[in-house]
Amino acid sequence: MSTGPLILPRRARGRAFFDALHGYVFIGPQLLGFFAFVLGPLVAVFVFSFQDRDLLTGAVAFVGLKNYREIFADPLFYKVLSNSLVFTAGLVLLNITLALTLALLLSGSFRGVTTFRTVFFASVVTSAVAWAIVWRFILQGQQGVLNQFLEIVGIHGPNWLREPRWAMVSVIVARVLKNVGLNMTIYLAALKSIPREYGEAAGVDGASGWQVLRSITLPLLASTTLFVAIITVNGALQVFDHILLMTAGGPENATNVLVYYIYRQAFQFFQIGYASALAVLLFFVALGLTMGQWLLRGRSAEA
């Protein structure tokens, strides 16, 4: 009886140590992988950005800020950067508008509602490569089916993927159609949590459907919208598949965006140092956007 309490703390201490050991073993593989394939490479890309590397001979030379100076002296870089921002802005606006519209149309329960939800989400599980290939097929010059349809109704459609302005629009639209189903579903979940009585009470007070939407539903969805905007912006910044497959950055770099530019510099022109400096800039653009979003989020949480 009296020995019990004396022994327990020691055993407990031993157990805590043993437990902590288990903790390290459990997270070990993930952590090692993180150092080898995420943190290590992140440090490396900063180092590479100050070097010139020859992939064939393996020669490495320290060049200081040369890569950065070249990047900032190249008008193409500014075009690529502005393309990335235009793409991101266009994509986020169109995606959120469409996602919200679809969610509002599908929030009730009526015959066929699940079928429609299934349809709008199907492209989310489809591979971006397949989706981009099919859209390239649809949007081809005068032979593409879209222009054939337009021809039938008497409109001479543009060469969607070969004219600078239309190429950007086409890529944005194809990408929105690919991913909008996910945002729609997130909105649907949010709409479900809004009590029905809100709208009904307003309806009794004589508010029209449009007024209910504007002054009740949309404000209640504000935090969801911010959240959806954040994940969509991050995704848009990483666009690659659709660009490579639909336009290859063209015509005349009209759809050349950051990730695609890095890919070309590194793996087609083998400018490892230059491409690494671009990757560092991508890192800071992403970091800046994330921090901006956090600030926005913090402010909206206070409000």
Partner 1 sequence: MRRDRETAWLRRGAWYVALIILSLPFVFPFLWMASGSLKTPAEIFAFPPTLIPDRWNWQNFIEIFRYQPFARQYANSLYIAALVTLGTLCVSAPAGYAFARIRFRGNTVLFLLLLTTLMMPAEVTIIPNFLFMKLLGLINTHVPLILLPILGANGVVSTFLIRQFFLSFPQELEDAAMIDGLGRFGVFWHVAVPLVKPALGAVSILTFLYSWNLFLEPLVFINDLRLFTLPLAINNFADAYGVPVWHLQLAATTLSVLPVLAVYVLAQRRIVDSFVLSGMKG
Instruction: Please report, as residue ranges, which positions from 235 to 264 form the binding site for partner 1 (by CB under 8 A).
Output: 237-238, 240-241, 245, 259, 262-263
Q: Tell me which of 63, 194, 213, 286 binds partner 1, using CB under 8 A.
A: 286
Q: How many residues contact partner 1, by CB under 8 A?
A: 92
Q: Tell me which of 161, 182, 233, 243 binds partner 1, using CB under 8 A.
A: 182
Q: Tell whether residue 101 is a contact of partner 1 (CB under 8 A).
A: yes
Q: Which of residues 157-176 bind partner 1 (CB under 8 A)?
A: 173
Q: Tell whether residue 296 is a contact of partner 1 (CB under 8 A).
A: no
Neighbours of 42 (CB within 10 A): 12
Cβ proximity to partner 1: between 91 and 182 the closer is 182
Q: Are 205 and 196 in contact (CB under 8 A)?
A: no
| Alpha carbon distance 119, 223 (integer Å) | 26
Cβ proximity to partner 1: between 167 and 279 the closer is 279
- 278: Cα separation from own chain's centroid: 19
Q: Which amino acid is at 122?
A: A
Q: Are 185 and 231 in contact (CB under 8 A)?
A: no
Q: Which two tokens stand for residue 214?
A: 């504007």
Q: Which of residues 114-143 bind partner 1 (CB under 8 A)?
A: 116-131, 133-138, 143
Neighbours of 73 (CB within 10 A): 8
Q: Tell whether residue 29 is a contact of partner 1 (CB under 8 A).
A: yes
Q: Tell whether residue 38 is a contact of partner 1 (CB under 8 A).
A: yes
- 146: Cα separation from own chain's centroid: 27
Q: Closest by alpha carbon to 87, among 176, 162, 199, 213? A: 176
User: To 5 degrees, how large is the angle CA 89–CA 95–CA 100?
Assistant: 130
Minimum CB–partner distance for residue 166 and partner 1 (Å): 16
Minimum CB–partner distance for residue 178 and partner 1 (Å): 10
Q: How buried is residue 30: exposed, middle or buried, by Cβ count under 10 Å (0-12/13-18/19+)?
A: exposed
- The stretch among 6-14, 97-105, 163-171, 191-199 that binds partner 1 (CB under 8 A) is 97-105
Cβ proximity to partner 1: between 182 and 254 the closer is 182
Q: Are 231 and 91 in contact (CB under 8 A)?
A: no
Cβ proximity to partner 1: between 77 and 240 the closer is 240
Residue with tokens 């087609």: 268
Q: Tell me which of 1, 2, 73, 110 binds partner 1, using CB under 8 A.
A: 110
| Alpha carbon distance 25, 18 (integer Å) | 11
Q: Tell whether residue 185 is a contact of partner 1 (CB under 8 A).
A: yes
Q: Tell me which of 161, 221, 243, 282 binds partner 1, using CB under 8 A.
A: 282
Minimum CB–partner distance for residue 237 and partner 1 (Å): 6
